[in-house]
């Protein structure tokens, strides 16, 4: 059982939470806490041995002893499930499917949905259902309605945008708050939107990177989960940057998924607190 808490800071919170666990006869395997002193905000991640059957009672007791307006999220043992949205680029999807096949993803891939047929054969090699939804012959609203219908046939915890090159509407995003994870081929907040590598090349940057973030209704400005950069110089063409960038994108998305699927990320407003170990 994993418990994530955020609340106004006050003296003795660690002791209070520890007492609740002790009274319930639960053993704490790991406890990580962080206080944002600028806003007096307390964050805590607890890993508990077993205890899944006591989750509801523990949550109720924590509500009684923690400050008002506390956010308490408890994750129990069942393996998480994900749906993956794609367009044409295969590198991030390929990595996800391989990890899923060898049981190292930390979740099971329930389906892949693409707005092109390009990645059907790759997906089906791993015996994962693939759904093609054409975006060119219908309005955005109709496209998203069909997409929602396809998604609603499955049970999942998160949607992964593995190079899904469509901007989702605020209504669609609102249906899955902090449950849509995107990999952006840029070190945000620099070079948002389309063609970031060309933008970076024209600007003459010496570093390029990738950013994995939760999707909000503001383009490429959702809470950041993980980022990584690599050096480039004047000799690198746009094509070179794209090739290098794909390697970084794959690595950053894999890291972000590991953190999220292990319940190591707490979202607070447009920021995240990430307990990496």
What CATH number corresponds to the domain at position 251?
A: 3.40.50.170
Q: What is the pTM of this model?
A: 0.90
Question: Where among 25, 43, 75 does a domain terminate?
Answer: 75
Question: Where among 44, 75, 106 does a domain terminate?
Answer: 75
Q: Are residues 45 and 95 in the same domain?
A: no
Do 108 and 82 meet the contact criterion of CB atoms below 8 Å apart? yes
Residue of 158, 85, 162, 97 whose CA lies nearest to 127: 97
Q: Are residues 34 and 132 in the same domain?
A: no
Q: Are residues 70 and 164 in the same domain?
A: no
Which pair of structure tokens corresponds to residue 206?
């010496």
What CATH number corresponds to the domain at position 37?
A: 3.30.70.260
Alpha-carbon distance 203 to 101, whole Å?
A: 40
Label residue 232 exposed, middle or buried (CB < 10 Å: 0-12, 13-18, 19+).
Answer: buried
> Which residue out of 220, 240, 263, 268 is catalytically annotated?
220
220 given a catalytic annotation: yes
Domain that holds residue 134: 80-274
**Alpha helix ranges (H) inside 29-78:** 55-65
Q: Are residues 209 and 263 in the same domain?
A: yes
Q: Are residues 209 and 113 in the same domain?
A: yes
pLDDT tens for the chain, 277 residues: list them.
Answer: 999 999 999 999 999 999 999 999 999 999 999 999 999 999 999 999 988 889 999 999 999 999 999 999 999 878 899 999 999 999 999 999 999 999 999 999 999 999 999 999 999 999 999 999 999 988 999 999 999 999 999 999 999 999 999 999 999 999 999 999 999 876 656 676 667 777 778 888 888 888 999 999 887 789 999 999 888 888 888 888 888 888 899 999 999 999 999 999 999 999 999 999 7
132-to-4, 159, 190, 236, 263 alpha-carbon distances in Å? 37, 16, 32, 36, 31
Number of domains forming the structure of the chain: 2
Cis peptide before 163 (omega within 30 of 0): no
Q: Are residues 70 and 102 in the same domain?
A: no
Q: Are residues 184 and 268 in the same domain?
A: yes
Q: How far is CA 109 from the centre of its chain?
A: 14
Which pair of structure tokens corresponds to residue 51?
């205890």
Q: Are residues 66 and 144 in the same domain?
A: no
């Amino acid at each position: 059982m994993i418990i994530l808490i955020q609340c106004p800071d006050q003296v003795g919170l660690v002791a209070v939470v520890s007492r609740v666990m002790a009274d319930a006869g639960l053993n704490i395997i790991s406890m990580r806490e962080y206080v944002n002193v600028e806003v007096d905000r307390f964050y805590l991640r607890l890993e508990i041995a077993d205890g899944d059957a006591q989750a509801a009672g523990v949550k109720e007791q924590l509500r009684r002893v923690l400050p008002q307006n506390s956010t308490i999220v408890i994750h129990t043992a069942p393996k998480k499930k994900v749906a993956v949205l794609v367009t044409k680029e295969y590198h991030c999807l390929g990595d996800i499917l391989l990890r899923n096949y060898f049981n190292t993803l930390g979740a099971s891939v329930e389906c892949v949905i693409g707005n092109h047929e390009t990645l059907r054969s790759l997906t089906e090699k791993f015996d994962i259902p693939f759904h093609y939804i054409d975006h060119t012959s219908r309005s955005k609203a109709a496209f998203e309605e069909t997409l929602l219908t396809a998604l609603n046939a499955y049970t999942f915890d998160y949607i992964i945008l593995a190079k899904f090159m469509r901007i989702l509407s605020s209504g669609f995003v609102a249906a899955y708050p902090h449950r849509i994870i995107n990999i952006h081929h840029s070190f945000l907040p620099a070079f948002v939107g389309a063609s970031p590598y060309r933008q970076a090349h024209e600007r003459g940057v010496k570093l390029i990177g990738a950013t994995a973030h939760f999707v909000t209704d503001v383009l490429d400005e959702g809470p950041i989960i993980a980022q990584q950069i690599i050096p480039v110089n004047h000799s690198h063409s746009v094509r070179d940057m794209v090739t290098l960038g794909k390697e970084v994108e794959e690595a950053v998305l894999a890291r972000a998924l590991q953190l999220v699927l292990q319940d190591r990320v707490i979202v607070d407003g447009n920021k995240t607190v990430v307990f990496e170990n």
